[in-house]
């Protein structure tokens, strides 16, 4: 396909030479190109298709990179990347060594702020605007683009609250498409809908009441109007707010009609928009489906069970409980902190909340886990999804810090199943053993079992360790699903000197078993798909160095690094926790 205009855009200055007709043609080319690349390389589609006109208009009107532009989450910024010198590199999007799927300061001077987690843009742009003010730069413009789901988060409101009294030169653009990954939720969504329908008189405008100059709602796909409005706003001083109405997936019929699926649709036919057939085999099942279906089963038997997800019902499969028991399952929007304290509140009243949160996003709710849940020994079950290495989303989304940040919290039980059946049984056990809160971590995607995981429940004793292979000299201690790499390695290389124990629990750490292990083996290798510092490896090392000076410990996992985007397999290799690396250790 030819991209006659896009081809000529080396940087935003080239945009300024184009007529409005050419800019409109450029918008068509950008859409086609994003569709063509994402169809084969995968990535976030719908959000970027909805932001094509705004990306052009912003770079046309403002003087980037001198004027600063922050994209919230950044999954909508493909158009921005293509207009700022990354057209040729875009085929490498999200691949090892290629460009990142999110704006990143290392990658381009046009990426004013690194993003990936939502709702940071207003605080970040305010910080930049205050810096400009202190540095006496009154010309510089500061723009944040934030979606309707992301602006509902507490952090965004903290930023608005401060910005309103800051007297800084900043513009917040709300991209209101009435959907996050799943449909937007909450009272703010209703408020925005009523503004769109003209039901809210301007004097009552919530944004105005925070001292922002409010403009909109405006059609975010009308390039000419957008340019005109941005030119006007550029001349105004103080905090400004522009409310845009857009369509997620704009320009691809299927993406407009099925916005949830086309948020990040996987591979599809770029001509027809049809999704390529996903693997249809039932097994191995996805951990998310094991979690979601098991929770429904448990909830049927235990009326105290409730479910909470902060904005990820589809991704986490909490949607299954929402379908089965709509009154007992809550999508609270992008609000991880609220989700955790909400669970704590429910737990004080005898409910048993299962709170499903991606490992990386749970970082947001650290104080709530400590202060509101663990300190009060409240029976909340954290179902920590996307734990471990997550692949193409890269450094912002890795679920590798949870073991380290959780294992230092008193009262918390931390478990990591080896496979689907063990996940199911841990969920079952957690609703029987309710004296303390639980954290159960499991990875993105499919498990390992070829047979049906829907077996009858069996309770797991807390602290459980399974000896999967007996040895006499060396032993590998694993926790979580990464233990399957150890099993595969031993299937390929038999060596009777080596043993393998799977620790279902990182906390409480089974010290009785550890004493036995230290008396039986002279060398221990630990493995986890998480940060070794503070994680499983550290805990084992601490135990051994305190009790057995003659036993050596080596720890495999993520070592003090941010793991960049690549396939999960490439990331395992980079961290030395792939099957081949384990085989090399066994053969040493
Ligand atoms: C803290 C945090 N929680 C959850 C997510 C996952 N997430 C990524 S995009 C998204 C929805 C964003 O919706 P919106 O802001 O409306 O932008 P749109 O996708 O509609 O452009 C969510 C929940 C995230 N990136 N960060
Ligand atoms: C941008 C973002 O944060 C989400 O879209 C994230 O990429 C979802 O990850 P999963 O694909 O693992 O659900
Ligand atoms: Mg949205």
**pLDDT value, residue 235:** 96
74 Cα nearest atom in ligand 2: 1
Give the Å distance between the CA of 101 and the centre of ligand 3: 18
C-alpha span between 188 and 210 (Å, rounded): 15
Probe residue for ligand 1, chosen from 180, 188, 244 as the CB with the greatest number of ligand atoms within 8 Å:
180
Asked if residue 494 and residue 402 are part of one domain, the reply reads: no
Half-sphere exposure of 499 (CA within 13 A, CB side): 19
Give the Å distance between the CA of 331 and the centre of ligand 2: 16
**Residue 459 included in any domain:** no
pLDDT in tens, 65-81: 999 999 999 999 999 99
Asked if residue 568 and residue 528 are part of one domain, the reply reads: yes
Residue 118 among known ligand-binding residues: yes
Q: Residues 426-438: what's their mean pLDDT?
A: 98
- Which of 406, 441, 476 represents a domain boundary (last residue)? 441
Residue with token string 């699926």? 261
**pLDDT value, residue 197:** 82
204 pLDDT higher than 90? no
Asked if residue 504 and residue 432 are part of one domain, the reply reads: no
407: tokens are: 């294992």
**pLDDT value, residue 462:** 98
Report the candidate in 211, 24, 243 with the shortest Cα–Cα distance to residue 145. 243
The pLDDT confidence band at residue 439, using thresholds 50, 70 and 90, is very high
Residues carrying an active site annotation: 248, 336, 364
**Residue 452 included in any domain:** no
73 Cα nearest atom in ligand 2: 1
C-alpha span between 509 and 133 (Å, rounded): 53
Under DSSP, the state recorded for 433 is: -
Cα distances from 129 to residues 76, 84, 123, 125, in angstroms, run 23, 22, 10, 6
Asked if residue 169 and residue 92 are part of one domain, the reply reads: yes
pLDDT in tens, 132-160: 999 999 999 999 999 999 999 999 999 99
Residue 22 among known ligand-binding residues: no
**pLDDT value, residue 202:** 57
Residue 500 among known ligand-binding residues: no
385 pLDDT higher than 90? yes
**pLDDT value, residue 282:** 87
Tell me the CATH number at 203: 3.40.50.970
451: tokens are: 């047979």
Under DSSP, the state recorded for 111 is: -
Residue with token string 């004027």? 67
Asked if residue 62 and residue 158 are part of one domain, the reply reads: yes
Ligand positioned closest to the Cα atom of 388: 2
Tell me the CATH number at 532: 3.40.50.920
**Residue 335 included in any domain:** yes
32 pLDDT higher than 60? yes
479 pLDDT higher than 70? yes
Give the Å distance between the CA of 261 and the centre of ligand 2: 12
The pLDDT confidence band at residue 425, using thresholds 50, 70 and 90, is very high
Q: For ligand 1, atom 20, which residue shows the shortest CA distance?
A: 180
pLDDT in tens, 330-346: 999 999 999 999 999 99
**Residue 476 included in any domain:** yes
Burial of 379-417, coded b for 16+ CB within 10 Å and e otherwise, reads bbbbbbbbbbbbbbbbbbbbbbbbbbbbbebeebbbbbb
C-alpha span between 472 and 499 (Å, rounded): 7
C-alpha span between 54 and 244 (Å, rounded): 9
Asked if residue 213 and residue 152 are part of one domain, the reply reads: yes
169: tokens are: 């030169």
The pLDDT confidence band at residue 117, using thresholds 50, 70 and 90, is very high
Q: Residues 461-468: what's their mean pLDDT?
A: 98
Asked if residue 431 and residue 314 are part of one domain, the reply reads: yes
**What residues are paired with 307 via a beta bridge?**
329, 354
**Residue 190, class by beta-carbon neighbours within 10 Å (0-12 exposed, 13-18 middle, 19+ buried)?**
exposed
- Which of 212, 228, 263 represents a domain boundary (last residue)? 263
Asked if residue 320 and residue 195 are part of one domain, the reply reads: no
Half-sphere exposure of 525 (CA within 13 A, CB side): 22
- Which of 374, 406, 441 represents a domain boundary (last residue)? 441
3-state secondary structure of 460: coil
Give the Å distance between the CA of 230 and the centre of ligand 2: 30
Asked if residue 518 and residue 410 are part of one domain, the reply reads: no
**pLDDT value, residue 225:** 98
pLDDT in tens, 239-271: 999 999 999 999 999 999 999 999 999 999 999
Under DSSP, the state recorded for 317 is: S
**Residue 331 included in any domain:** yes
Probe residue for ligand 2, chosen from 114, 147, 393 as the CB with the greatest number of ligand atoms within 8 Å:
393
Residue with token string 């004493």? 515
Mean pLDDT rounded to a whole number for the chain: 97
DSSP string for residues in 238-276: S-EEEEEE--TTTT-HHHHH-TTGGGS--SB-TTT-PBP
184 Cα nearest atom in ligand 1: 16
Asked if residue 134 and residue 64 are part of one domain, the reply reads: yes
Q: Residues 541-547: what's their mean pLDDT?
A: 98
278 pLDDT higher than 80? no
Asked if residue 157 and residue 28 are part of one domain, the reply reads: yes
Q: Residues 461-474: what's their mean pLDDT?
A: 98
280 pLDDT higher than 80? no
Q: For ligand 2, atom 6, which residue shows the shortest CA distance?
A: 393
C-alpha span between 520 and 199 (Å, rounded): 74
Residue 92 among known ligand-binding residues: no
**pLDDT value, residue 203:** 54
Asked if residue 566 and residue 515 are part of one domain, the reply reads: yes
pLDDT in tens, 154-179: 999 999 999 999 999 999 999 999 99
Number of domains in the chain: 3
Query: What range does the domain containing 401 cover?
Result: 287-441
**Residue 198 included in any domain:** yes
Q: Which residues contact 287 (CB under 8 A, 6 or more apart)?
A: 385, 420, 423, 442, 443, 444, 445, 446, 447, 481
**Residue 269 included in any domain:** no
**Residue 509 included in any domain:** yes
3-state secondary structure of 439: strand
Residue 75 among known ligand-binding residues: yes
Give the Å distance between the CA of 188 and the centre of ligand 2: 23
**pLDDT value, residue 200:** 62
Phi/psi for 525 (5° steps) reads -115, 125
3-state secondary structure of 355: strand
């Amino acid at each position: 396909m030819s991209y006659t205009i896009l081809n000529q855009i080396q940087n935003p200055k080239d945009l300024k030479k184009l007529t409005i007709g050419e800019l409109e043609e450029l918008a068509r080319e950008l859409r086609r190109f994003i569709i063509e690349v994402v169809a084969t390389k995968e990535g976030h589609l719908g959000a970027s298709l909805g932001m094509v006109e705004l990306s052009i208009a912003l770079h046309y009107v403002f003087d980037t990179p001198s004027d600063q532009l922050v994209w919230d989450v950044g999954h909508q910024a493909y158009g921005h990347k293509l207009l700022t010198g990354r057209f040729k590199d875009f085929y490498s999007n999200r691949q090892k060594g290629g460009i990142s799927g999110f704006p990143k300061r290392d990658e381009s001077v046009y990426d004013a702020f690194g993003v990936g987690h939502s709702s940071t843009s207003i605080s970040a742009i305010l910080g930049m605007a205050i810096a400009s003010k202190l540095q006496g730069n009154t010309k510089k413009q500061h723009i944040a683009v934030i979606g309707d789901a992301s602006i509902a988060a507490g952090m965004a409101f903290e930023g608005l609250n401060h910005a309103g009294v800051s007297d800084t030169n900043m513009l917040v653009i709300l991209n209101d498409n009435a959907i996050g990954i799943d449909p937007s939720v909450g009272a703010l969504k209703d408020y925005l809908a009523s503004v769109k329908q003209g039901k809210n008189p301007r004097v009552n405008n919530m944004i105005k009441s925070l001292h922002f100059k409010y403009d909109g709602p405006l059609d975010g796909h009308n390039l000419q109007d957008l340019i005109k409005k941005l030119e006007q706003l550029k001349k105004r001083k103080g905090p400004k707010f522009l409310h845009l109405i857009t369509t997620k997936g704009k320009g691809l019929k299927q993406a407009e009609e099925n916005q949830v699926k086309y948020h990040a649709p996987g591979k599809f036919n770029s001509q027809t928009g049809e999704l390529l057939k996903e693997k249809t085999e039932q097994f191995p099942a996805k951990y998310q489906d094991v979690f979601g279906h098991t929770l429904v089963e448990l909830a049927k038997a235990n009326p105290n069970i409730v479910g909470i997800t902060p904005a990820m019902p589809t991704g986490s499969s909490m949607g299954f409980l929402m379908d089965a028991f709509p009154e007992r399952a809550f999508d609270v929007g992008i609000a991880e902190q609220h989700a955790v304290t909400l669970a704590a509140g429910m737990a004080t009243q005898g409910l048993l909340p299962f709170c499903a949160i991606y490992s990386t996003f749970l970082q947001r709710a650290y104080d709530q886990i400590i202060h509101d849940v663990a300190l009060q020994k409240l029976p909340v079950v954290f179902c920590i999804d996307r734990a471990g290495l997550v692949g193409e989303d890269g450094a912002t989304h890795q679920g590798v810090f949870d073991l380290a940040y959780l294992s230092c919290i008193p009262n918390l039980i931390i478990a990591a199943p080896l496979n689907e059946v063990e996940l199911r049984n841990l969920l079952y056990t957690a609703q029987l053993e309710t004296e303390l809160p639980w954290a159960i971590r499991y990875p993105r995607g499919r498990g390992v079992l070829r047979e049906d995981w829907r077996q009858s429940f069996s309770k797991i004793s807390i602290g459980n360790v399974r000896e999967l292979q007996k040895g006499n000299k060396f032993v590998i201690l694993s926790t979580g699903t990464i233990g399957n790499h150890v099993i595969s390695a031993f299937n390929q290389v038999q060596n009777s000197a080596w043993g393998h124990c799977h620790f279902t629990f990182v906390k409480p750490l089974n010290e009785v078993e550890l004493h036995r292990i230290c008396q039986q083996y002279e060398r221990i290798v630990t493995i986890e798909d998480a940060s070794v510092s503070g994680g499983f490896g550290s805990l084992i090392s601490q135990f051994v160095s305190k009790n057995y000076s003659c036993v050596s410990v080596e720890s495999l996992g993520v070592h003090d690094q941010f793991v960049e985007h690549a396939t999960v397999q490439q990331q395992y290799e980079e961290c030395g926790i792939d099957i081949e690396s384990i085989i090399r250790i066994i053969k040493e």
